[in-house]
Amino acid sequence: MNDPLVSVVLPTYDRPENLRNAVQSVQEQTYSHIELVVVDDHSPTPAADTLSSLSFDELTVEIIRHEENRGANEARNTGIRESTGEYIAFLDDDDDWAPSKIEKQVAAFREAGPEVGVVYTGSEYVYDDYVRTVVFSLEGDVTEAMLRGRSLGEFTTLMVRRDVARAAGLPDTDFPSWQDRDWLLRLSRHCEFKTVPEALTTRRRKTGEDSISDNFEEKRDISYPLFIEKHRDLAAEYGWRCERAFMAATTESLGQEALKNGYYADAKKYLLKALRYHPLDRSRLVYALVAYGGKYTYRAAHTLASLLHRVRTDTIHK
């Protein structure tokens, strides 16, 4: 077979209905040479039981169950280690894909030179009351742009060449959040990136839903200082302006998370700190002003944004 094998790594914990939807989106891919590695992080209802009613036809499926709950990051790494494909793609159990996603990413690898080791797509974010579509343009040597705050897709948008993943090392499980951000930076030091500028991933988010990205205190106390410790020196290699831009972008990201999660004192602290690192950025000034008013200004701004989203679907190019 000329088509390279693509390994899809799908970590899951206690989301049986979501898991079935995610797996069905893998079954519906127009690209056929896929192995699916489901890593069950000791769900109360085993993933094997959840998926027993599905017919996999020609899809190769392996279900691995942790003997104890070890977290989504460890589950993802188990999947990487146990998979065998030339390319590795990632799917969270509460997300799903457009049928052409894998086919278009493999085509992008074929069209690119050997220097490309990561192909990623855009996403459609489906919230309770609006939809936001994000597509990306950043490609090539992306390290400095990422250090300066440019964003790329999350794990569920990525396809990574196995030899590049091996060179960069596994995602760092010391991060309770921002693990994808850290890994993307490390991958970028070993290869170039290419984007498929289409929203081929759907990410569904509900208010109050548990998510690895929503624990602000872990992000503040562990992920934020660890991310700076690991990457500030790299930013400094690109010059003092890049270092300050790195600190501003990283600190602003934490401040925005504080604002979203109701930690208004932290939001003021970190957003003002980000502004000091980069005082001419108008968007940071707006966030700082919103945070300064606490829950009242934040709720007003959030309500206005929601109203705007209800009347139109945003396509954001990054």
Domain check: are 181 and 262 in the same one? no
pLDDT digits (tens, 9 = 90+) for 248-294: 999 999 988 888 888 888 888 898 899 888 776 666 555 555 555 55
What's the pLDDT at 278?
77
Cα angle value 264/259/125 (rounded, 5°)? 165
1 in a domain, yes or no?
A: no
State the CATH number of the domain containing residue 22. Answer: 3.90.550.10
pLDDT digits (tens, 9 = 90+) for 163-205: 999 999 999 999 999 999 999 999 999 999 999 999 999 998 7
Among residues 185, 53, 196, which one has the least CA distance to residue 136?
A: 196
| 229 compared with 268, residue with greater pLDDT | 229
Amino acid residing at 244: R
Contact (Cβ atoms closer than 8 angstroms) between residue 211 and residue 257: no
pLDDT above 80: residue 88: yes
Domain check: are 103 and 59 in the same one? yes
pLDDT above 90: residue 308: no
Domain check: are 143 and 223 in the same one? no
Among residues 97, 80, 83, 121, which one has the least CA distance to residue 30?
A: 97
The total of structural domains in the chain comes to 2
Neighbouring CB atoms inside 10 A of 215's CB total 17
In this prediction, residue 295 has a pLDDT band, given cuts at 50, 70 and 90, of low
| 159 compared with 53, residue with greater pLDDT | 159
Q: Which residues contact 202 (CB under 8 A, 6 or more apart)?
A: 95, 96, 97, 98, 123, 124, 126
What's the pLDDT at 53?
87
Domain check: are 38 and 127 in the same one? yes
What's the pLDDT at 288?
58
What's the pLDDT at 209?
46
Among residues 315, 177, 182, which one has the least CA distance to residue 257?
A: 177
pLDDT digits (tens, 9 = 90+) for 17-42: 999 999 999 999 999 999 999 999 99
Segments forming the whole domain that contains residue 296: 215-315
83 in a domain, yes or no?
A: yes
In this prediction, residue 211 has a pLDDT band, given cuts at 50, 70 and 90, of very low
Neighbouring CB atoms inside 10 A of 169's CB total 11
What's the pLDDT at 205?
75
Distance separating alpha carbons of residues 23 and 26, to the nearest angstrom: 5
In this prediction, residue 301 has a pLDDT band, given cuts at 50, 70 and 90, of very low
Domain check: are 85 and 135 in the same one? yes
Domain check: are 197 and 230 in the same one? no
Q: What is the mean pLDDT of the chain?
A: 87
What's the pLDDT at 291?
56
pTM of the model: 0.88
Distance separating alpha carbons of residues 105 and 165, to the nearest angstrom: 16
